[in-house]
Copies of this chain bind each other. A is one copy, B any other.
Amino acid sequence: MIESIVLVGAGNLATQLGKALKKANFNIIQVYSRTTNSAQQLASLLNCEYTTDLSEIKESDLTVISVKDDALSPVVEQLSPESFVVHTAGSVSMAILAGHFKKYGVFYPLQTFSKARDVDFSVIPICLEAGSAEAMEELTLVAEKLSKMVHSINSEKRKTLHLAAVFTCNFVNHFYDIGDQLLQEQQMDFELLKPLVQETAQKVMRMKPSEAQTGPAMRFDESVMSKHIDLLNDKPDLVDLYKLVSRSIYNAKK
């Protein structure tokens, strides 16, 4: 059974996962980060030790790697083969860990994490994959202490899930940002858009997104679309975006 945990990485995901694990009474014994500042910050939050030296990582029941994908391989090379190691990356296959460790798997919480915003882990889907039935069992026990939504998802499906998450979260948030910028330029406040942002999200809790679609692109209301493009005339990047997304909406309808 997993009790002690080391976190390799101290970014947004590591921070929120660390807080959730600690709250669920796991014993976080150490945090690693490349930079002293991040390591120190998370260690102080979790009340544990920290290191910036991969060779000083302590033995524990579970080592959780949450680093930028490019940084995963060098980390994997340096950890003890005796460790039980998981990574938390949506787009990295579990295969990157195979052959290196006795026990390994993937522990992927599907959510957007920021250091400054705590989230309710109990409703976050945790997608698990493991190199053995035993590893899966142990990871399931950990995941179920954090969330009611624990799923077994293989590497291929996880990649698609991550891609879909980029569209439905990162890209969506960028469009919130564009809305915010457009309003600011006209001395209006993002407050005005908040009910719309909420309803747009709430709508797809009940309806299929394809059925929830509204707006000028969907209706092919050329008069509105050309006015919008005129309004963006000093922002060629946004004109391109506007046209491309509008066309995509219209094509999806067919």
Contact = CB atoms under 8 A, between A and B. Distances in A.
Q: Which 5 A-B pairs have the closest CB atoms?
A: A170-B215, A201-B201, A177-B209, A176-B209, A168-B179
B177 A224 contact: no
Range, interface on chain A: 35 or more
Nearest to A90: B224
Interface string A176-189: 11111011011010
Interface string A149-191: 1010100110111111111111111111111101101101010
A12 interface: yes
A208 interface: yes
How many subunits of this chain does the assembly comprise?
2
Interface in A204-231: 204-219, 221-224, 227-228, 231
Contact of A160 (B119, B164, B183): B183
Interface of A: 12, 68-70, 90-91, 110-114, 116-117, 119, 123-125, 149, 151, 153, 156-157, 159-180, 182-183, 185-186, 188, 190, 192-201, 203-219, 221-224, 227-228, 231-232, 237-238, 240-242, 244-245, 247-249, 251-252
A169 to B, nearest CB: 5
A203 B161 contact: no
A153 to B, nearest CB: 8
Contact of A178 (B111, B164, B214, B221): B164
B198 A201 contact: yes
A161 B175 contact: no
A91 to B, nearest CB: 5
Contact of A151 (B113, B114, B190, B192): B192
A211 B117 CA distance: 11
Contacts of A224: 69, 90-91, 162
Nearest to A208: B180
Contacts of A151: 192
A110 to B, nearest CB: 6
17 contacts: A69-B224, A91-B216, A91-B223, A110-B196, A114-B203, A156-B186, A157-B186, A160-B182, A160-B185, A168-B179, A169-B196, A170-B214, A170-B215, A172-B172, A174-B252, A197-B204, A198-B201
Given A12-B214, A215-B169, A163 B231 contact: yes
